[in-house]
Structure 1
Amino acid sequence: MGYPTDLLSNRSIVKHGKYALITPQGLVNNVIPGFENCSMSILGSPKMGASFVDYIVTMHKGGKNSQGFGYEGVETFVYCLEGKIKARAKGESFDLEEGGYLYCPPSEKMYLENLADGDSRCFLYKQKYRPLDGHEPHIVSGNANDNEGYDYEGMVNVNLKDLLPTDDLGFDMNFHILTFDPGASHGYIETHVQEHGAYLISGEGMYNLDNDWVPVKKGDYIFMGPYCLQACYAVGREKMSYVYSKDCNRDPLL
């Protein structure tokens, strides 16, 4: 909300290095070289305390990145929220509609183009890759709607979907979708070294972030830093779901 119809207010909270809730109402557009006819907002970044960068991108009609996204040593990931996007990497082409995604290893650039007559929207990510001797990541594409989920830590009312391989040490991160039935929750308040960047794709909830209870809903972005206490309850009448990143498969550096 804001001037001239109301007081200036915003639900967003930023506690650098710990956690952040960023709502869509306060987002500003950023100019990102290489992206044409796109409205882009930077969500999580090292300036906040994250080891990665997350973006929300609205690709208008004819929007594209013909120069490629990513560079040597940086892995990238895109998740299509709505519309239709053509993604290319290593000479392959992937048509991504709602739920579609593409991961590119650090040796490959990602090229994006809007195929819809109107806007398409996507959640975009990049991170420096941490190599591991004897292991290499590879291009992965799919659609979350086709992926089989499973009970999260044995709870039948919380569903987890993996978007990247979980048994391949070539990957130093993963993307997941966590979905809560109305009234469902985590089994306990988690405390761990991994950090997350999460984008809510449906529903509403109450999220415990470093022991602050914060209301969240569809369209919100959450950054959770290392060792940030975290858990949530789903509230409302529909399922609460979010797509999120997690670093994994590496021993912490000294």
Structure 2
Amino acid sequence: MSYLNNVVGYRKDLLTNRSVVKKDNYVLLDPDGLVKNVIPGFENCDVTVLASPKIGASFVDYLVTIHADGKNERGFGEEGIETLLYLIEGSLEVKAGEQSYSLTQGGFVYCPPGTKLYFQNKSGKVTKAFLYKRRYDRLEGYEPYVVTGNANEMEWIKYEGMEDVLIKDFLPKELAFDCNFHILSFKPGASHGYIETHLPEHGAYFLSGQGMYNLDNDWVPVQKGDYIFMSAYSLQACYAVGRDEEFSYVYSKDCNRDVSI
């Protein structure tokens, strides 16, 4: 039952859900079950916190439904915190500090720490966005900066040389950035080349298709609208299932820094 699919109140069938929560390891969130969180500054918006330090993440991911004239004039972000907004559907007017941008589906804005993100939905239609925030890991001699673009205008790159697995990077590969964001897409039947085991964490929102995901050697079905969190060193890989639609997701990755001890 969820506000996202407008299934609330009495249910005739058994209460079931595909979600799996293994704190400090991995999480799968089925949208049927997500609830709204009241977050100061978000007006006429439905906000769900997807991942947070309470499940073991070093970041916070949000799913935000922005209704007509929905907005955040308070500003998202604070000193020491970097943020990103990716537009899943619709259009949105966004400000990063003093600079304004008009985003359409696939558009994104990254704000460095200390630069607040503001937005307003002037389209008259419902808009959906994926939001991210994380404490920036500062590196002496380097300063991150505002980055904006649209994933639909970016070129696909072969993922580790595979023709049927493609990726897009949102941020420049520079040491000023301690994270990056990607869209990874699999044609039906395609898969990772191996089960990955690595330091970076991921938060991933599924944009299209269906797949089977290996999460710490548990194979779980996932599809458009699902969300997964993968902690450091949690085993991970997937393959795409279905007939026609590509299996794709937008996700974050921490990078470009040594490990603190």
Q: What is the TM-score with the length of structure 2 in the denominator?
A: 0.96
The structural deviation recorded for 1:118 is 1.7
**2:4 — aligned with what?**
none
> Quick one: which of 29, 32, 37 aligns to 1:22?
29
Find the residue that maps to 1:24 and give its secondary structure. Answer: coil
The structural deviation recorded for 1:90 is 2.4
**1:183 and 1:49 mapped to 2: Cα distance?**
32
Find the residue that maps to 2:152 and give its secondary structure. Answer: helix
| 2:177 aligned with 1:171 | yes
1:115-144 Cα offsets, whole Å, 9 max, x none, are 221210000000000000000100000000
Pairwise mapping of residues 18-97 of structure 1 onto structure 2 (< 5 A)?
A: 18-97=25-104
**1:212 — aligned with what?**
218
**1:147 — aligned with what?**
154
**1:234 — aligned with what?**
240
**1:4 and 1:22 mapped to 2: Cα distance?**
20
| 2:206 aligned with 1:200 | yes
**Most deviating of 87-96 and 201-210:** 87-96
**2:132 and 2:17 mapped to 1: Cα distance?**
25
Percent of paired sites with the same residue:
62
**1:58 and 1:84 mapped to 2: Cα distance?**
12
Kindly tell me the number of residue pairs found equivalent between the two proteins. 253
**1:94 and 1:242 mapped to 2: Cα distance?**
24
The one-letter code of the counterpart of 2:63 is: I
Find the residue that maps to 1:145 and give its secondary structure. Answer: helix
1:157-200 Cα offsets, whole Å, 9 max, x none, are 0001001111x100000000000000000000000010000000
CA RMSD of aligned residues (A): 0.9
Runs (5+) with no aligned partner, structure 1: none
1:22-42 Cα offsets, whole Å, 9 max, x none, are 011110000000110000000
**1:120 — aligned with what?**
127
**2:193 — aligned with what?**
187
The structural deviation recorded for 1:4 is 2.4
**1:225 — aligned with what?**
231
Q: What is the TM-score with the length of structure 1 in the denominator?
A: 0.98
**1:5 — aligned with what?**
12
